[in-house]
Amino acid sequence: MKGLLIKDFQLIFLNIRMLVALCIVSIFLTSSSTSSAAFVISYITIVFFMFVLTTISYDELDHSISFLFTLPVSRKTYVLEKYVFSLICGMVGLIFSTVICTVIGMIKNINLIGPDFIPVALTIYLMLLFIVAFMLPIQLKFGGDNGRIAIFLIFGIIVAAVYIGNKVLEHFHIYKADIIKFVQSLFTANTALIIPAFIILVLATLGISYGISLRIMERRTL
């Protein structure tokens, strides 16, 4: 797996100019509020997570993926590496965004790293892992470009399903506002449990996602 990780980091460094552009955009778009910190973290971490999907596109290009499996790499190692790489990339994104926030704070003489910085950063990291858990199997199934189309289609289907579900519930006099209120009451009653519960949810989703990705890769003809 070490070799695959090195390869993927090598591929990420191809986008070094994009990273520089990210830093410049971040500096221009921030103000002195905490929401600015959240923006910088999510903006930069999303880009780092997108790098993971980009490496799959690079692997697919010119059938390079077939060659990878002629090396001492099993399908299981390949899939596991993409998940490990996602976790590392997200973490690097978080560290990088923290550094950027600190630098921006020094340049603009503002304090972006407030007391709620860590919970905000952790929440964004977990949310993005949740999305990655959803996107990785699709990318592995459909490949780079087709994968992106598939993601748009699936998100479209989810939005449509939510809309239709909402209409159906309204028909039975169950309203969206009531559901939101119920969920909020759950959270306010158990504040201390929210983050651990979210971590467990994300880990479980990643586990299920890994299982699906592995099945996809094992069945795939290369």
Partner 1 sequence: MILEMKNVLKQYDNFKLDCSLSLEPGCVTGLIGQNGAGKSTTFKSILDLVHIDSGEINVFGKPHTALTNKDKQDLSIVLSDSGFSGYLTISKIIPVMSAMYDKFDKNDFAERCKRFGLPLDKQIKEFSTGMCAKLKVLVALSHDAKLLILDEPTAGLDVVARDEVLNMLRDYMEDESHGILISSHISTDLEGLCDDIYFICDGKIILHEDTDVLLSDYASLKVDEKQYDKLDKKYIISVLKESYGYRCLTAQKRFYLENYPGIIVEKGSIDDIIMLKVKGETL
Q: By the criterion CB under 8 A, which residues form the site for partner 1?
A: 2-4, 6-7, 10-11, 14, 58-59, 61-67, 69-74, 77, 219, 221-222
CB of 68 to partner 1, least distance (A): 8
Q: How many CB atoms lie within 10 A of CB 100?
A: 21
Enumerate residues 6+ apart whose C-beta is below 8 A from 83: 136, 206, 209, 210, 213
Nearer to partner 1, 41 or 217 (CB): 217
CB of 2 to partner 1, least distance (A): 4
CB of 136 to partner 1, least distance (A): 19
Q: How many CB atoms lie within 10 A of CB 62?
A: 9
> Distance of CA 67 to CAs 37, 52, 162, Å?
42, 19, 41
Nearer to partner 1, 8 or 96 (CB): 8
CB of 77 to partner 1, least distance (A): 7
Distance CA 123, CA 13 (A): 27
Distance CA 40, CA 31 (A): 11
Nearer to partner 1, 5 or 154 (CB): 5
> Distance of CA 50 to CAs 69, 90, 106, 132, 175, Å?
23, 10, 28, 9, 36
Spatial CA neighbour of 129 closest among 28, 34, 17, 46:
46
Nearer to partner 1, 4 or 100 (CB): 4
CB of 73 to partner 1, least distance (A): 7
Nearer to partner 1, 69 or 117 (CB): 69
CB of 207 to partner 1, least distance (A): 23
Nearer to partner 1, 71 or 118 (CB): 71
CB 112 within 8 A of CB 36: yes
